[in-house]
Structure 1
């Protein structure tokens, strides 16, 4: 029986920092990503693929701002849905081509995903989620004054806009996702962390302006589809402690308790590795395995030969 894995791919696997945000550049990056995911499918895994959208949704917001006098801007939740469609298109096409090249019978479908959040989540009062392109410090300060944006320095790579990032409570449509997996479908779901929604006093669903962290949504998705493994693909081979210092140490295989201790010590940046480790811990507490690794080592990591493995047993 095939094992089930939820794979979370960062927005930077779609658009690299300081790379021109053209469709062609993003499609080339996605094609590389798809080739790696296809290797996992060849290992007899059912795959749910979720992805970030930080650079992309930031660009949509910028387009809205520039064109606001001509075309009415859309709210952030609608911008999230736009990126689910555009990135989903690139992923679905590239994955189908990669699977065809290896003679796989699996198909691919993109699932528009709404994710329930709490409208009273404190995150709405304290934006933390980086979106959009990188700016210099001088540019960031000017944007703070001119546009009223919240700006933060992002892991030494430059300055970015930040927006609210509430915690996901429930993924809508999970029964349909599971049904698709059982029909030999690879499912792209929860893109950009999902479209943030809540139930109003009449029990109806409404959108909220925010961007949910894709790793937290990936964890919730992995729990709800009963995945065997939750894998977070990033641009580094391992989780490290004392990052960027002479004492930097790569972590190979650690327990949930060890990971939590490092997290409590503040070893991982809130805007980058922190949510990844937090999400991995939340999933691994169930007795299953969470993996954080580089994109090009996904298949090796599933064999236990790469990445950082987190479980209650290590």
Structure 2
């Protein structure tokens, strides 16, 4: 095997906007995603992370429909979705990889700081899209915060920065044995450490920021942030929109992108480039082979 690559699958690359989050839908998208990943795994050591925003939002909404039961907290729901999506991805990898290629899924806890101001400022979108009327009802009934995307609304929650990946050594050991590893789903399960040990946090962690932290602590050659978009656009959604094909960290710092969507991907890519001196690429999952070669997407360099 040659270089080690980390591919971060966007949650919305597994469920498209407007689709019902059914098992059939998720399996269909995961099958298509793994087709690209399995091809990559034939030539590279491979580490896979993935988003879970749509799934976390759906389970949180379902759990809150039982008034006589305590609703599951976001860290608990993150653990549920991390395990489920890893299972689906790994099952499809086993179907598409040679029989002698090992795979493993690691339920990953990620430590955050209790004094992180992001814990008290919701920015991360999760769950389905809502109409104006549904959004107002949920605000009144559940006290949720929302942000508008086009003509619809999504719930937003706290998203603290990742500080420490608790299963890092296990992930390293598996990669060294040429195992395809799936980990840190949804950015990992957020936990705090105090005098009594670790406890979960009512938040979610951005999976791209966790992926960048993970990639910088392992001998990762390339970080690929795979999403719906074919790259990062300047002036997105206007007549002047322009694909940024390649830029330095300093050049990207001069731009601002949509918070809770593209900006965290750019921040994560720049974080990885600054800490390692290697390149990071943001682009469409369907272009994965070209993203690796630098022929598609937005490549960020020193």
> What TM-score results when the alignment is normalised by the length of structure 1?
0.93
Residue 9 of structure 2 aligns with which residue? 9
The 1:307/1:68 distance shift into structure 2, 3 A limit, reads same
Distance 2:87 2:26 in 1: 11
Deviations 1:50-96 (A, max 9, x none): 11110001111111111242x44222111110001111111110111
Q: What is the CA-CA distance between 1:215 and the residue it aligns to?
A: 0.5
Q: What is the CA-CA distance between 1:20 and the residue it aligns to?
A: 1.2
Distance 1:153 1:310 in 2: 29
Q: What is the CA-CA distance between 1:133 and the residue it aligns to?
A: 0.7
Residue 74 of structure 2 aligns with which residue? 76
The 1:56/1:31 distance shift into structure 2, 3 A limit, reads same
Residue 172 of structure 2 aligns with which residue? 178
Distance 1:146 1:289 in 2: 45
Residue 128 of structure 2 aligns with which residue? 133
Where 1:67 maps in the other structure, the secondary structure is coil
Gap runs ≥5 in structure 1: none
Q: What is the CA-CA distance between 1:157 and the residue it aligns to?
A: 6.1
Residue 218 of structure 1 aligns with which residue? 211
Question: Contact conserved, 1:239 with 1:308, CA < 8 A, in 2?
Answer: yes
Q: Does 1:86 find its partner at 2:84?
A: yes
RMSD: 1.3
Distance 2:182 2:82 in 1: 9
Residue 261 of structure 2 aligns with which residue? 272
Distance 1:68 1:300 in 2: 49
Question: Contact conserved, 1:134 with 1:157, CA < 8 A, in 2?
Answer: no
The 1:220/1:157 distance shift into structure 2, 3 A limit, reads farther
Distance 1:172 1:231 in 2: 22
285, 299, 302: which one pairs with 2:292?
302
After superposing on structure 2, the runs of 4+ consecutive aligned residues of structure 1 that deviate more than 3 Å are none
Between 193-202 and 213-222, the greater mean CA deviation after superposition: 193-202
Equivalent residues in 2 for 1:17-28, closer than 5 Å: 17-28=17-28
Where 1:180 maps in the other structure, the secondary structure is helix
Equivalent residues in 2 for 1:82-161, closer than 5 Å: 82-99=80-97, 103=98, 105-154=100-149, 156=150, 158-161=152-155
The 1:250/1:39 distance shift into structure 2, 3 A limit, reads same
Residue 194 of structure 1 aligns with which residue? 188
Question: Contact conserved, 1:238 with 1:308, CA < 8 A, in 2?
Answer: yes
Residue 258 of structure 1 aligns with which residue? 251
Distance 1:236 1:77 in 2: 28
Matched residue count:
301
Distance 1:206 1:226 in 2: 30
Distance 1:289 1:106 in 2: 27
Residue 45 of structure 1 aligns with which residue? 44
Q: What is the CA-CA distance between 1:104 and the residue it aligns to?
A: 6.6
Distance 1:35 1:158 in 2: 32
Gap runs ≥5 in structure 2: none
Residue 59 of structure 2 aligns with which residue? 60
Distance 2:267 2:133 in 1: 32
Distance 2:14 2:231 in 1: 20
